[in-house]
Amino acid sequence: MDALSMLLKNVHLYETKYYCLQCDGDWSYSITRQDTIVFYLVLQGSLCIDIDGVIRNAQAGNIIMIPNASNHTIYASNYSSKQATPIEILLNQSDGKPVLLGESKKNGSTVFALIECFYDKEVTRPLLSALPSILPEHEVHSRYGDKVLDIGMDFLSIESRGDRLGKAAMINRLASIIMIECVRAYIESLPEATDSWLRSLKDPYLAKALAVMHKSPEKNWTIGQLAEEVGMSRSSFAERFKQIVGEPPLTYLIDYRMRLAARYLRLQQNSISRISELVGYASDSTFSQAFKRVYGVSPRTYRQQSIEQDKVLENTLNCDKSRSK
């Protein structure tokens, strides 16, 4: 399995929401989100996205990904007004139907899908922090291919219209597929002279090292063993890894183990003893000390805090669903 596949193995999107927007004339809206990935699939016409002063034009056939969705504005091409309507007002009025914006027809018609989803912050953090604020970085047409867009929209349309068993799972997985397509296209486009650690996924030696660490994080890896796996000398491997990834191999491994342990704790499917084994610690006490150094609390406390946070999130989502009915 390639390094990117291993990196994405534990990246999961959930609570995905999908909206269709039909816009005419001069229109704009603002959206504020935290810990959310947002996608725009442009089906017809064109639009502009402004996030922290970075502006991207998107045409029919484009997929736009905002990895760390915070405050941004979407508006009609050639429309300069800053009077943007908060998206919540529009969505609350839609009653599950396509959201209509604008009045006149002078700018033609734009139709696009808005997809937003939550993600596992700890596991996904290194990847998202290495991505630009908007993907793709440059204005392109059909960057990811019409097939991805067509298949994606077909699935979204089918699932959004019906109420079949597994609907939420289907939409979550579809969002994951779109994310993977956006991320791998970005990595493939990275030049050699870049300071992004994601370049390591294209490096024939480092990609293999990352793959084996992600595949078997519980193994008691040494720098010598990793160097042997990739066919390099110990010193050359250690230097190359630190130069491109930005930290020593074993530091990266420990960080991944802790993020993986945090995910296991939140999932509540394994005992703490079992989790310590899964991430390569011989004893619970050693694991607990290592985890506390990173997260400031013991694994048991972290798990309890996660349970309480999940209850708050569930109540919030239930309130949102009640308001939309």
Which domains are seen in the chain, by residue range? 3-189 (2.60.120.10), 213-304 (1.10.10.60)
Q: Which helix (H) or strand (E) holds 40?
A: strand 36-44
Residue 151: per-residue pLDDT:
75
Beta bridge partners of 42: 112
- 3-state SS, residue 79: coil
Residue 79: per-residue pLDDT:
81
Please state, in angstroms and rounded to a whole number, the distance separating the CA atoms of residues 297 and 78.
Answer: 51
Percent above pLDDT 90 for the chain: 34
Give how far the C-alpha of residue 119 lies from the chain's centroid of Cα atoms, to the nearest Å.
6
Please state, in angstroms and rounded to a whole number, the distance separating the CA atoms of residues 268 and 271.
Answer: 8
Give how far the C-alpha of residue 149 lies from the chain's centroid of Cα atoms, to the nearest Å.
18
Residue 141: per-residue pLDDT:
41
- Per residue in 241-279, pLDDT tens? 999 999 999 999 999 999 999 999 998 999 999 999 999
Residue 304: per-residue pLDDT:
94
- Per residue in 279-314, pLDDT tens? 999 999 999 999 999 999 999 999 999 888 877 766
Residue 140: per-residue pLDDT:
46
| Ranges of the chain with pLDDT below 70 | 69, 80-82, 93-96, 103-108, 137-150, 152-153, 157, 160-161, 313-325
Q: Which residues contact 126 (CB under 8 A, 6 or more apart)?
A: 197, 255, 259
Half-sphere exposure of 278 (CA within 13 A, CB side): 16
Please state, in angstroms and rounded to a whole number, the distance separating the CA atoms of residues 48 and 9.
Answer: 33
User: How much is the CA Rg of the chain, to the nearest whole Å?
Assistant: 22
